[in-house]
Amino acid sequence: MTPDDIDVWVGLDVGKSAHHAHALDHDGNTLYDKPLKQDEKAIRTMLEKLSRRGRVLLVVDQPNTIGSLPLTVARSMGVQVAYLPGTAMRRTAQLLPGTAKTDRRDAYVIAWAALKIPESLRDAGPDDETLAALKILAGHDEDLAHESTRHINRLRSLLLQTHPAFERVLKGERVTRDATLALLERYGGPMGMREAGIEQVRRWAKDKGIRAERIIDDMFKAIGEQTVTVPGTDMAETIIPSIARDIKQIKDRRRNLASQVEELLNDHPLLTVLTSMPGIGARTASNILLAIGGNIS
């Protein structure tokens, strides 16, 4: 896309319920400067009107969430679309007169940048249904990952407060293994495990089909290193099972998301190319596709 390909540059400052659109022609003259409802009919009417003047480029400041509808409507009409990143937008704003931060001025800044500094524009994101779905799943997975980290930090904090040696046994990813979480959900922590005894804990794990011989031995070795009971231990061990359960549920939800990602990738032509590379699985392939917008070139 070059300036010669376009006749009308539309800057759209997007909002939750309404946008502001500013359109410029080749000479920088204003063709349109109005608020716009977050509504397909309103967006389509505006683009149809401007399309009578020639080829239109619609540029938004947010390509996702609240910017998705304008981009989808534009694409359905054959209108070219692009995205102006925040950093480029702030730099462009410094080149223009005025300092007011209004939707109207922002829309003008976007349109002016598109006209005068086309190299500042970026791809507006996937118009491919599979890539759009992958983006939603990736965002949800990221939220779950943050939630899991919060629970893990809380679990470690409680164990570190009440039994540091026991917490050290669960270093790294060991704390989130299915066997560890099952034991913590069942017994609550070192005090509950001590009361049950190592033989009972082993029998319970075996009956549940949990392979945990090594971790159980390490846990009881750590339990034996502390003879005092730190104040607050009883309460901590009533909370730990629910935290362990939450972490396990989040792990299960992330596994389900990974399965959905694999199903989506099965329909994408680049899957075979990406997964044939060493060390690239479904999640990494998904991130690569999102980064390149599905364009292997």
Fold adopted by 130-292: Helix Hairpins (1.10.287)
Identify the pLDDT of residue 127: 59
Question: What span, in angstroms and rounded, lies between the C-alpha atoms of 177 and 179?
Answer: 5
Residues of the chain with CATH 3.30.420.40: 3-125
* Per-residue model confidence (pLDDT) at position 297: 42
Question: What's the pLDDT at 292?
Answer: 63
Q: Are 79 and 58 in contact (CB under 8 A)?
A: yes
> Is the model's pLDDT at 84 over the cut of 80?
yes
pLDDT at 279 exceeding the cut of 90: no
Task: Using the predicted structure, report yes or no on whether residue 217 has a pLDDT greater than 90.
Answer: yes
User: pLDDT tens-digit profile of 16-60?
Assistant: 889 999 999 999 999 999 999 999 999 999 999 999 999 999 999
Written out in words, the top-level CATH class of the domain with range 3-125 is alpha beta
Q: Where in the chain is the domain with CATH 1.10.287?
A: 130-292
Residue 296 pLDDT level (bands cut at 50, 70, 90): very low
Residue 288's pLDDT band (boundaries 50, 70, 90)? confident
Mean pLDDT value across the chain: 90
List own/partner pairs for 213-218 with CB under 8 A and 24 or more apart: 215/169, 215/174, 215/177, 215/179, 215/180, 215/183, 216/183, 218/169
What does pTM read for this prediction? 0.63
Strand ranges of the sheet holding 18-24, from the earlier edge strand across to the other edge: 30-37, 18-24, 8-13, 56-60, 80-83
CA angle (57 as vertex; 52, 60 as ends), nearest 5: 130
CA Rg value for the chain: 28
The pLDDT value recorded for residue 126 is: 58
Residue 266 has pLDDT above 80, yes or no: no
